[in-house]
C-alpha cells in the first residue's frame, strides 16, 4: 500500500507522486484510487488501489542505485535481431516491465542503433517514450533537473564508440 507523497513508477507512463487517495464510482463500481501526478507532461492518472501488483506500480529506485543505471547506459549493445518486429516487441516488453534497468537497456540500444543506422518511425517513438520514462524516475530519485539528465545522456552516447 502506498501513501500520499510516495514517489512511484507506473510502467509505460513513468514516475510521479501520489497526490491523493480517493474513492470514485466508475462504470457503476465504487473503488479506491491512487491519484498519481506525472510531472513529465503534467498528467494525472487514477490507479485502482487493489490492482497495483497487476499494473506493476512500484517505488522509485534509491539514490544509491542511480550509478547502476548509468553503467547499463554505458554498456555495450548486445546483438539485436535484424527483424524489426522482433526487436520492437522485445524492447516493448522491457518497457512494460517497469524495471528501470530494462528501460535503460532500451534507451541504450535504440540510441546506439540510431547513431549506426537510424531508426524507423516506430522505434523513434519508442526511444522517446523510454527516455521520458527513464528521465521521469531519475528526476524524482536524484533531484537532478531534466536538462541535466538529458545532457548526461547526450554525453554518454557522444563518448560511445561508433
Domains, the chain = 7-59 (2.40.10.170), 63-159 (1.20.58.1290)
Report the pLDDT value the prediction gives residue 1, as an integer from 0 to 100: 87
pLDDT above 90: percentage of residues in the chain: 67
Over range 67-92, report the average pLDDT. Answer: 90
pLDDT one-digit tens code per residue, 18-52: 999 999 988 888 999 999 999 877 789 999 999 99
Nearest-angstrom CA–CA distance, 146 and 150: 6
Report the pLDDT value the prediction gives residue 104, as an integer from 0 to 100: 97
Residue 162: is its pLDDT beyond 70? no
Helix (H) or strand (E) holding 97, with range, is: helix 84-97
- The residue among 144 and 107 whose pLDDT is bigger is 107
Please name the residues in contact with 66: beta carbons below 8 A apart, sequence gap of 6 or more.
138, 141, 142
Residue 9: is its pLDDT beyond 90? yes
CA dihedral in degrees (81, 101, 36, 31; nearest 10)? 70
Report the pLDDT value the prediction gives residue 91, as an integer from 0 to 100: 96
Over range 149-153, report the average pLDDT. Answer: 89
pLDDT one-digit tens code per residue, 97-134: 999 999 999 999 999 999 888 899 999 999 999 999 99
Report the pLDDT value the prediction gives residue 66, as an integer from 0 to 100: 93
Ramachandran category for residue 14: left, alpha or beta (phi over 0 → left; psi -120 to 50 → alpha): left
User: Whole-number mean pLDDT of the chain?
Assistant: 91
Nearest-angstrom CA–CA distance, 15 and 73: 19
Amino acid at each position: 500500500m502506498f501513501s500520499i507523497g510516495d514517489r512511484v513508477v507506473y510502467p509505460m507512463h513513468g514516475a510521479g507522486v501520489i497526490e491523493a487517495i480517493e474513492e470514485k464510482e466508475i462504470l457503476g463500481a465504487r473503488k479506491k484510487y491512487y491519484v498519481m501526478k506525472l510531472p513529465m507532461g503534467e498528467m494525472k492518472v487514477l490507479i485502482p488501489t487493489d490492482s497495483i501488483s497487476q499494473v506493476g506500480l512500484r517505488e522509485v529506485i534509491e539514490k544509491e542505485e542511480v550509478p547502476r543505471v548509468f553503467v547499463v547506459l554505458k554498456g555495450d549493445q548486445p546483438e539485436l535481431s535484424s527483424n524489426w518486429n522482433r526487436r520492437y516487441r522485445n524492447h516493448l516488453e522491457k518497457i512494460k516491465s517497469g524495471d528501470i534497468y530494462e528501460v535503460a537497456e532500451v534507451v541504450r540500444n535504440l540510441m546506439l542503433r540510431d547513431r549506426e543506422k537510424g531508426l524507423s518511425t516506430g522505434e523513434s517513438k519508442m526511444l522517446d517514450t523510454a527516455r521520458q520514462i527513464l528521465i521521469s524516475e531519475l528526476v524524482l530519485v536524484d533531484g537532478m533537473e531534466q536538462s541535466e539528465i538529458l545532457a548526461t545522456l547526450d554525453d554518454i552516447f557522444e563518448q560511445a564508440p561508433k
